[in-house]
Structure 1
Amino acid sequence: MGKNIVIVVQARMASSRLPGKVMLPILSKTLLARMIERLEMIYTPATVVIATSQHPNDNVIAREADMLDVPYYRGDLNNLLDRHYQLAKAYQADVVLKIPSDCPLIDPAVIDEVLGFFLDSPEKYDYVSNLHPATWPDGNDVEIITMDCLERTWKQATRPLELEHTTPYIWENPSQFKIGNVEWATGLDYSMSHRFTIDYHEDYLFIKRVFEELYEDKPDFSCEDILNLLERKPEIYELNAKYAGVNWYRNHLDELITVGEGQTNLLFKNEVE
């Protein structure tokens, strides 16, 4: 019997650096709509659900979900772990695939590759990602969690960073969970040099330009297609190059065991997340 795989897209309007980023326009649709479109290109059968908050500011996301005919769940604004767990229970998930809404350039083939790795040995892992260590360009983030693993994490995690970021308790406690990681088959590591995610206005300009360049000829453009574009037009790479490697790790290095300084951009340390 197949497993019920639920892809959880966490989205909210609140953002200290770029408020309302998920509703910014990309080729006449919202960034969130483009994100969902790419998730629906994967081959593995799965249900996509938007996980937003109960805050009134996020009513617009609920309306967008209705317009896209995508189910949604509204939960705690800041406790993302609880939001994921309650959504997974509501949709009777066997497996939860966590995708942040700031990854509108995510390659569907990368998702299928990580899912394939997990599903090829369904009893071998509690958690599989392509992030520990990360190798693909930032913005191809895939995390797969069994329901049992998510429930144990929900019961045991207590630190603010564990509640806000959903999965740190898992990969910070490798003795408690069976953990797997999928590295980029190229042997390259672009996780700190190439930024396909969105937190800043410059990121939006980058993502918008990539869609404008590639979407019309190939709506399901790949990570390789983006990299080839950047080689042809390096000025696009430069749009947000100064933020390469910026991630939430930078302000929590003293709390994390399995993440070091080489996995984040310290130039932006102490910036409000």
Structure 2
Amino acid sequence: MASSLLIMQARLASSRLAQKALLPIYAGKPSLLYAMQGVYGVADAHVLACDVASFSSFEPIAQEAGFAIMAGDADDVLARFAHVAKEYKVDYVIRATADNLIVGQELVRLALDGAIDSDADYFCFEATAHGSGVEVIRRTVLLDAYANASSPFEREHVTPYIYGHPQRYKVIKPVVESRFFAPDLRSTLDTPEDYTRLVEFFTHRAFPSQTIIEEYIAWMRSNLYQMSL
């Protein structure tokens, strides 16, 4: 059976929404905690990969969520992921981000199963709500990208080198099944408007929830949200 490691990236610096990882979402708890709790348990190990400047603020939150924590370069996020991956001898790495709270365990498991079943080097569902996806990367491919990616964009965003070289890697990007299909909706936490919307959503819902994406899509539709990306 294939082994897996979930790495969630996070940092305090944010130009559009200051220190968004520490903003309270529900019951006074920070958004970072909810992001981690929402996907905890889907992999054999879970690590928060942050920058050095964020480590002291994030360490107690990671401990509460059951995540290990490692710190690295603020801008070379690919290096952060590679350094964590070198410590965990798994088959696949799941990439998650702290500003995506509307993911849930089921979709992560479907993506991991999809990667394993298709023998993919890179697997990601398309047409989810913006901010509801994860990427699954073969660990050896992640390390290969780390060794070869050279542009600042490739280093900052972790996976562009991989899916940008389909002749080198097996890249699988299927459209997500209908119950998760919402390419017109926005679920990420990146602006003050995002924050207001997510606080409103979480106010009356149990968390974490196995059906969080479906609940969110239904709530957005019922409130006639049509979010531009």
- Same fold per superposition (TM over 0.5): yes
Shift of 1:187: 8.8
Partner of 2:10: 11
Task: Please give the alpha-carbon distance, in whole angstroms, between the structure 2 residues aligned to 1:48 and 1:172.
Answer: 27
Q: For each residue in 1:118-175, what CA deviation from the matched residue of structure 2 results, as whole angstroms up to 9, or x when unmatched?
A: 1224xx3111112xxx301111121111111011101110001000000000111111
Alignment: residue pair count: 228
Q: For each residue in 1:36-59, what CA deviation from the matched residue of structure 2 results, as whole angstroms up to 9, or x when unmatched?
A: 1110264xx43111001112x442
The one of 51, 66, 78 aligned to 1:53: 51
Shift of 1:108: 2.1
Task: Select the structure of larger CA radius of gyration.
Answer: 1
Structure 2: gaps of 5 or more residues: none
From the superposition, tell whether residues 109 and 25 of structure 1 become closer, same or farther in structure 2 (CA, over 3 Å): same
Residue type at the aligned position of 2:209: P
Q: For each residue in 1:187-222, what CA deviation from the matched residue of structure 2 results, as whole angstroms up to 9, or x when unmatched?
A: 98532x200001101101111111113227x83333
Give the fraction of aligned pairs with identical amino acids, expressed as a percent: 25
TM-score w.r.t. structure 2 length?
0.92
Partner of 2:157: 165
Higher relative contact order (CA 8 A, sep 6+): 2
Runs of 4+ in 1 over 2 A off after TM superposition: 66-69, 91-94, 187-191, 213-216, 218-222, 230-234
Note if 1:108 corresponds to 2:99: no
**3-state secondary structure, aligned to 2:162:** helix
Structure 1: gaps of 5 or more residues: 246-273
Shift of 1:107: 2.9
Residue type at the aligned position of 1:233: N
**3-state secondary structure, aligned to 1:213:** coil
Note if 1:21 corresponds to 2:25: no
Note if 1:30 corresponds to 2:22: no
Partner of 2:95: 98
Task: Please give the alpha-carbon distance, in whole angstroms, between the structure 1 residues aligned to 2:216 and 2:200.
Answer: 11
Contact 1:125 1:178 in 2 (8 A): yes
TM-score w.r.t. structure 1 length?
0.78
From the superposition, tell whether residues 197 and 27 of structure 1 become closer, same or farther in structure 2 (CA, over 3 Å): same
The one of 71, 76, 80 aligned to 2:73: 76
Task: Please give the alpha-carbon distance, in whole angstroms, between the structure 2 residues aligned to 1:115 and 1:99.
Answer: 12
From the superposition, tell whether residues 220 and 69 of structure 1 become closer, same or farther in structure 2 (CA, over 3 Å): same
**What is the RMSD of the two structures over their aligned residues, measured on CA atoms?**
2.0
The one of 115, 118, 122 aligned to 1:118: 115
